[in-house]
Amino acid sequence: MAGVLDGRWAAWFGGLQISGQGDETIICGLLADQPALHGLLTKVRDLGLCLISVRRLDTGQAGDKAP
């Protein structure tokens, strides 16, 4: 599967912000807890996407658009 998803996948990813940047997908948003993070990582794995990085942002930064 190609590594680029568009906003139509937002519902499947629990309403997180999905955006394409070149040949990469950025998934951004607040997660309730560590089990929610593990669920997100499982979805990334199940789609066969290559995970490049995971970053923790301060709560105030989470509402900002992804870089």
The domain total for the chain is: 1
Q: Please give the radius of gyration of the chain, using alpha carbons only, rounded to the nearest integer.
A: 11
Q: Does some domain include residue 2?
A: no
Q: Does some domain include residue 67?
A: no
pLDDT digits (tens, 9 = 90+) for 42-64: 999 998 888 999 988 777 655 55
DSSP 7-66: GGGTTTTTT-EEEEETTEEEEE---SSHHHHHHHHHHHHHTTPPP-------HHHHTSPP
pLDDT value of residue 1: 46
Cβ–Cβ < 8 Å for 30, 56? no
- Could you tell me the residue range of the domain that residue 37 belongs to? 7-62
The answer, yes or no, to whether residue 67 has pLDDT greater than 80, is no
Q: Does some domain include residue 58?
A: yes
DSSP state of 5: -
pLDDT value of residue 21: 83
Closest C-alpha to 25, from 56, 45, 50, 57: 50
